[in-house]
Amino acid sequence: MTTTTTQPIVTLDGQQPRQPGLPSAPTSPSETHPTNPRPDLAATVGHTPMLRLREASALTGCEILAKAEFLNPGGSIKDRTALGLLLDAEHRGLLRPGGLIVEGTAGNTGIGLALLGASLGYRSVIFMPQTQSREKIDALRISGAEVRLVPAVPYRDPDHYAHQARRYADELNGVAPLSAWFADQFDNTANRDWHEATTGPEIWQDAGGRVDGFVCAAGTGGTLAGVGRALKARNPAVCIALADPAGSALASYINTGELVASGNSISEGIGSSRITANFDGAPIDLAWSIPDDESVPLTHQLLHQEGWCVGGSSGVNIAGAIRLARKLGPGHTIVTVLADAGTRYQAKLFNPPFLREKGIPVPEWLARAFPVEPAGT
């Protein structure tokens, strides 16, 4: 494999080559579409289609729109985050040609970093909780990352995956300075800034400037904070809402100022027990805690009735969009994101015995698709 240490990184419009490490600011992305042919993977991140969710719109009398982030090259919205973090690290001279990317991730950011790393000539080591879906772990492995699965422990535990990743990078840098770069998606605000510079303006443009509300779940908080800031800058009346999975403390934090969590969720990559630097100060007007028996059926319906196969966090986002539409009333335009694909969670989201065990309704079509095999066959 050739290394690409001298190849330019291309901004999202695919037109302004930039050498890694050059002291130019990461250029603000163009609001025009990239031109074909695209020179590399980075030039295929973002500019996703904006979809109209037919059933959610009909149900509420609002226009419910969603950015199809599962169509990014690595399959999730976190490709954007990975690109923003990488460009910022290169700009600040933290990532040298041929260097090592180190990150702690629930999976999607790692996939984005590993694939962009492959394209740009970087290696990656990813720390990930072993509770994440087999599909994501496998995707990360085939993306070329060295995957280190670690027990899922609370953030306050020094063995939390993010602390292990930071320690590992620090150790390497202690021996050879600047040999490893810890991406730090939770507390590196280049994450939020990139969404503010790209995802938010795209949403505004795709919706023709008619956005009354934006809602999504938060993991790092980069998407919600960045898009929220971009939209409020264009129209301060845009309502920004958090859709939080059960088991997360963020909705309680917004509503009461206390970090209190209850319940749990099969969704992955969203929810938090702490306020990350990316989430801190996000312009959030409303917040709801969304139970799985509300969100998961929405992913099943979206697939069965409209053909879009999305993951659990997207179900939480659609539930949030419906709640926000009901709050604002008919005639409004609500935007959300479909963060990744359902195929990344097939063994959970589309597995009737698993769903029943979790008390989540199994639609008839899904039960028929996976009939219980008689014993002994």
- Active-site residue list: 78
**Structure token pair of residue 75:** 């399959």
Helices (H) and strands (E) in the chain, counts: 14, 12
Strands 9-10 and 17-18: antiparallel
Angle of CA points 27, 28, 34, to nearest 5°: 95
- Binding flag, residue 223, ligand PMP (CB under 6 A): yes
**Structure token pair of residue 44:** 């295929």
- Binding flag, residue 218, ligand PMP (CB under 6 A): yes
Minimum CB distance to ligand PMP smaller for 115 or for 224? 224
- Binding flag, residue 184, ligand PMP (CB under 6 A): no
Of the candidates 220, 248, 265, 299, which one interacts with ligand PMP according to CB under 6 A? Answer: 220
Kindly indicate which of the ranges 50-58, 156-164, 217-225, 328-336 contains the residues binding ligand PMP, using the contact rule CB under 6 A: 217-225
Residue ranges in 235-274 that form contacts with ligand PMP under rule CB under 6 A: 269-270
H helices present in 104-235, as ranges: 108-120, 134-142, 161-175, 190-197, 199-206, 222-234
CB-based contact 117:91 (threshold 8 Å): no
Smallest distance, ligand PMP to C-beta of residue 11, A:
21
Kindly indicate which of the ranges 39-47, 85-93, 145-153, 222-230 contains the residues binding ligand PMP, using the contact rule CB under 6 A: 222-230
Kindly indicate which of the ranges 31-39, 95-103, 219-227, 245-253 contains the residues binding ligand PMP, using the contact rule CB under 6 A: 219-227
Smallest distance, ligand PMP to C-beta of residue 278, A:
7
Residue ranges in 59-88 that form contacts with ligand PMP under rule CB under 6 A: 76, 78
DSSP string computed for 201-219: HHHHHHTTT--SEEEE--S
- Binding flag, residue 48, ligand PMP (CB under 6 A): no
User: How many CA atoms lie less than 13 Å away from 65 in the CB half-sphere?
Assistant: 23
> Would you tell me which residues interact with ligand PMP (CB under 6 A)?
76, 78, 106, 108, 217-224, 269-270, 311, 313, 339-340
